[in-house]
């Protein structure tokens, strides 16, 4: 495992930094994690075109409506994550931390904590009042990370997620940024 935070850079991609290499690296990172059973919202690794469209949509969103952050070490992708505002006008003050993915090599090295902290900071600067996140009940690492940053559980949807013939509870957490 690489030393925590050593030469690790975290930056926003709202400045047009999305390129073909990053799309390829993100597609590989997601594919590797999902193949190993990570609960990231896909049952099978998403195709490159889907990852490219997703990252492009978030990176080109209006300022304050979304944030895409990437963590790199010596040009290699260590992890990435994003949040996005809810679209409906009645709840547009709030956002969802939709994805936080850290490569296997970087698991346990503080990359997820750093990305999460910076995603929370960008949401706060954007005026987000409540930041939500959800995850499967068997993802104890996610639960530990989010609780350590201040997220609190506000609900559980029992047997909501089906993956690999099994059912999982959907854990719903919120962080009040006011």
Q: Parallel, antiparallel, or unpaired for β 130-136 and 95-102? A: parallel
Provide mean pLDDT across the span 164-176: 97
Average pLDDT, the chain: 94
Q: Does domain 8-176 have CATH number 3.40.50.150?
A: no
Query: Is 135 a residue whose pLDDT tops 60?
Result: yes
Provide mean pLDDT across the span 34-50: 96
d(CA 35, CA 44): 7
Identify any residues that bridge with 133 across adjacent strands, giving them in sequence order. Answer: 173
d(CA 162, CA 147): 24
Lowest mean pLDDT among 6-15, 104-113, 116-125, 143-152: 6-15
Output the six-digit token pair for 154: 């506000």
Integer-rounded Cα radius of gyration of the chain: 16
Cα torsion angle, 108, 26, 122, 177, sign: negative
Give the model's pLDDT for residue 2.
56
Query: Is 14 a residue whose pLDDT tops 80?
Result: no
Work out the number of other CB atoms within 10 angstroms of the CB of residue 126: 16
């Amino acid at each position: 495992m690489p030393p925590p935070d050593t030469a690790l850079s975290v930056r926003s991609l709202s400045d047009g930094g999305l390129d073909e290499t990053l799309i390829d690296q993100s597609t590989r990172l997601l594919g590797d994690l999902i193949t190993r059973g990570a609960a990231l919202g896909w049952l099978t690794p998403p195709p490159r075109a889907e990852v490219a469209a997703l990252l492009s949509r978030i990176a080109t969103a209006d300022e304050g409506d979304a944030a895409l952050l990437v963590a790199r070490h010596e040009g290699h992708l260590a992890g990435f994550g994003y949040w996005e505002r809810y679209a409906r006008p009645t709840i547009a003050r709030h956002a969802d931390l939709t994805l936080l993915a850290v490569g296997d090599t970087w698991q346990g090295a503080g990359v997820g904590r750093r990305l999460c902290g910076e995603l929370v900071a960008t949401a706060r600067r954007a005026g987000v009042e409540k930041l939500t996140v959800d995850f499967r009940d068997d993802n104890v690492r996610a639960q530990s990370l989010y609780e350590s940053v201040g997220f609190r559980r506000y609900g559980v949807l029992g047997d909501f997620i089906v993956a690999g013939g099994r059912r999982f509870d959907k854990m719903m957490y919120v962080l009040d940024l006011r």
